[in-house]
């Protein structure tokens, strides 16, 4: 049975995963804490926390609000900054077999390019995920992912500074995600990941004010799975590059739905927070499904629900 997938077939360096199960940015930190409680080497890839040029303290409390089968967060990209990441985290990653993809977020196109430039040649980094979809920051973030022109410009700027495979993470908070996907693809992205969180909010009725410190937050978890699935389905018909499905994946069945909708791989996010073994349970369940259904290569399932 072959579960390995190539996420950057047109990139010289490629991004070959032993299996299609990844962790989503912001849900396992830098992987180092997570590595203490699970065997991360069994995963397809780890995506690190969204990283900016300078360290960021993130948003005020409260940062989390639970919703029906979902989680609103306004963490606001709290992170140690790219230099500390290169100095302190990358050397640890270099000892791992599992590839680590660094999620980057900039305030300007120049910053995205600079982040990519600094990651070039850093041992332990196997790819870049360009975050043009964070809803929790006042500057940049999601704004770059809302216009096809801006999204393409960021993608091209990052590509010009790196030989690493470049994944662009898209926001669902747009009118036509397929149009953004196409623009990013034409600008040279090696793969797409979708979706980031859906903008939402909660109100504290006792205080009569927004509940979250950041006022609005990003909704994740099982609540958004149908939205994510539909967007993967749409985008897979618009572009030919690999798609990483993300949004509420909590079980092998969820992951298989994404793959059949056109995803080559999946990212597990919020489910990690609740169940640190979620990614492994997804992987094992996929293996059982393939065995039961006599599927020899996971590639045989990619997009099968898309073809009439």
Residues designated catalytic: 134
Q: How far is CA 219 from CA 100, 140, 248, 276, in A?
A: 25, 19, 10, 20
- Return the axis-axis angle of helices 148-159 and 177-186, rounded to nearest 10°: 30
First to last CA, the chain: 26
**Which residue ranges make up the site for other proteins (CB under 8 A)?**
26-29, 33-34, 36-37, 49, 54-55, 57-71, 73-76, 78, 136-139, 204, 206-207, 209-215, 221-222, 250, 270-276
- Residue 80: which residues within 8 A CB-CB, separation 6 or more? 51, 55, 88, 89
Residue that is written with structure tokens 């993300």 in the block: 246
Cβ at position 236, least distance to other proteins in Å:
26
Cβ at position 28, least distance to other proteins in Å:
5
Q: Which CB atom, from 49 or from 159, has the smaller least distance to other proteins? A: 49
Would you say 136 and 142 are in contact if contact means Cβ atoms under 8 Å apart?
no
Q: Which CB atom, from 191 or from 228, has the smaller least distance to other proteins? A: 228
For 216-248, letters b (16+ CB in 10 Å) and e give: ebbbbbbbbbeebbebbbbbbebbebbbbbbbb
| Residues β-bridged to residue 245 | 194, 266
Cβ at position 233, least distance to other proteins in Å:
22
Cβ at position 66, least distance to other proteins in Å:
5
């Amino acid at each position: 049975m072959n579960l390995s997938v190539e996420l950057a077939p047109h990139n010289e360096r490629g991004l070959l995963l032993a299996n299609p199960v990844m962790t989503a940015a912001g849900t396992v930190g830098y992987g180092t804490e997570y590595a203490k409680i699970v065997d991360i080497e069994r995963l397809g890839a780890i995506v690190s926390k969204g990283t900016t040029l300078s360290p960021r303290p993130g948003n005020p409390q409260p940062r989390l609000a639970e919703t029906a089968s979902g989680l609103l967060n306004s963490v606001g990209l709290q992170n140690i900054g790219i230099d500390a990441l290169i100095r302190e985290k990358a050397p640890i990653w270099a000892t791992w077999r599992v590839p680590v993809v660094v999620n980057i977020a900039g305030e300007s196109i120049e910053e995205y390019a600079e982040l990519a430039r600094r990651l070039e040649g850093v041992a332990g980094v196997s790819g870049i995920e360009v975050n043009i979809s964070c809803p929790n920051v006042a500057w940049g973030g999601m704004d770059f992912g809302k216009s096809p022109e801006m999204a393409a410009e960021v993608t091209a700027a990052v590509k010009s500074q790196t030989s690493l495979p470049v994944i662009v993470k898209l926001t669902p908070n747009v009118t036509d995600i397929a149009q953004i996907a196409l623009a990013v693809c034409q600008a040279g992205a090696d793969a797409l990941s979708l979706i980031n969180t859906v903008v939402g909010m909660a109100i504290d009725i006792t205080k009569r004010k927004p509940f979250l410190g950041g006022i609005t937050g990003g909704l994740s978890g099982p609540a958004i799975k149908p939205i994510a699935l539909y967007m993967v389905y749409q985008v897979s018909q618009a572009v030919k590059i690999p798609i990483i499905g993300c949004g509420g994946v909590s079980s092998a069945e969820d992951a298989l739905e994404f793959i059949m909708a056109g995803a080559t791989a999946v990212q597990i996010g919020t489910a990690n927070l609740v169940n640190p073994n979620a990614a492994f349970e997804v992987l094992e369940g996929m293996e059982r499904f393939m065995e039961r259904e006599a599927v020899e290569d996971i590639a045989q399932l990619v997009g099968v629900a898309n073809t009439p």
